[in-house]
Amino acid sequence: MAEHFFKFRGRFDFSPHPYEVGNPIFHNRKLEDNFFALKLYGLPEGEFKAFYDFHLNHYLARNPDGCEGFFRKVNRSIQRRITFYSGKNPFKPEYEIHSANLDKLEAFQQFLITIDEWNVNTSTEKMLSQRDEEIALLKADLADLKAQLNEMLQYEASEKIVINSGNLASFMDLMRQFQKLMLPNGKRLVTTQGYSPWYKMVAKNFVHGDKPIPLATAQNYFSSEDSSKYIFISDKDRAFDIVPVKSVNQH
């Protein structure tokens, strides 16, 4: 039994879907390619995708894995007609119609190229060229990433600084004091736009005893005091006070 790809209008159906093919009387499904092309000639380019999808969905209802097969069917049919009209005598009276049909077929072929995920219309030479271009881009990206990694590794320490076990809160209190230190001219000693440089620095470069400091834990020490996760440091855990040598605004 021959396989059919396109949705025909019902026999004696005089109000069909605008994308259905065939006529209400004659239903020779062996000529479905002809009916598909006839419908295509009357469509504006803006409806190409909707027209294609309409018949594709009809085909997929019976052939769920048939996307590629359907594409190849339509693509082959369009190419045959382009070849047919391209060989027509331009001095024949019907050439104007042939030329219009050829223009529509070539426009539809350009649409097919945009959805050709199987490279049906791509020559082996072009595919190899595209592959070489992609490889060149990937090599360039890899070289760039290696350069970035090498630059980052320059700042990586061979070991982490150990905070005496049980004294994480005391250390964090010092970090908070650093954030608030003022210079004699009234400006802050250190400034950041947010908290992340502080807690990421601590989590990355310090350990508490022999255990890493979780990023979330470090973040909770440096988050806003209004946050429900903010860790308050009690007076008993405050071991040091950083005192300026000169008072602010003192010269």
Containing structural domain, residue 92: 29-121
Q: Extract the residue ranges of the chain whose pLDDT is less than 70.
A: 1-2, 123-127, 248-251
Asked whether residue 117 falls in the same domain as residue 129, the answer is no
CB 79 within 8 A of CB 62: no
Q: Is position 16 within any domain?
A: no
Share of the chain above pLDDT 90, in %: 67
In the three-class reduction of DSSP (H, G, I as helix; E, B as strand; rest coil), residue 236 is classed as helix
Rounded CA Rg of the chain: 36
Rounded to whole angstroms, the Cα distance separating 127 from 132 reads 9
Return the pLDDT at 133: 82
The CA distance from 12 to 32, in Å, is: 18
- What's the total number of domains in the chain? 3
- Decide if 7 is inside a domain: no
Q: C-alpha angle 78/83/84, rounded to 5°?
A: 95
In sequence order, which residues have a C-beta less than 8 Å from that of residue 179 and are 6 or more positions away?
190, 198
Residues 152, 169, single domain; the answer is: no
Contact (CB, 8 A) for 209 and 144: no
Is there a domain that residue 227 lies in? yes
81 found inside a domain: yes
Residue 67: what pLDDT?
96
Q: Is residue 247 part of a domain?
A: no
Please give the pLDDT value at position 162.
97
Please write down the HEC assignment for all residues of 193-212: CCCHHHHHHHHHHEEECCEE
217 falls within a domain = yes
Q: Is position 12 within any domain?
A: no
Q: Are residues 219 and 198 in the same domain?
A: yes
Distance CA 98, CA 105 (A): 10
Q: Are residues 56 and 96 in the same domain?
A: yes
What per-residue confidence (pLDDT) applies to 23? 85
Task: Return the pLDDT at 198.
Answer: 95
pTM of the model: 0.52
pLDDT of residue 170: 96
